Amino acid sequence: MATTTFEAVRAEALFVSYLQCSQAPKSDEVRAAVVSTLRRVGIKGCAAQVAGEFGDHPETAVARMAWALALVRSTYPARRNAPRAVRLLARSA
């Protein structure tokens, strides 16, 4: 499945948030963590921290990003009324 820009930004924010993989957070906790992290450090700050973690700890960063992306996709489902091109891209991936 292709990752949208919104998914990537949210996953990066969740990646650098206070939530941990072992917590099995609920959707409302994921949304709150994404919002608070983006407000606190911004989009560029999240990207910089993610890059740092991948540089310093690639063995754990990959698993954490997979967790973050999966949680973001389950918390923020794709819009059914998204433009046709976006829906087609999501299906083809």
- CA 34 vs CA 1, 8, 16, 39, 55: distances in Å: 21, 11, 9, 9, 22
Q: Give 10-residue mean pLDDT values along the chain (93 residues).
A: 84 96 93 97 97 96 96 85 55 46
Quote the pLDDT of residue 61: 96
Quote the pLDDT of residue 54: 96
In this prediction the pTM is 0.80
Quote the pLDDT of residue 91: 52
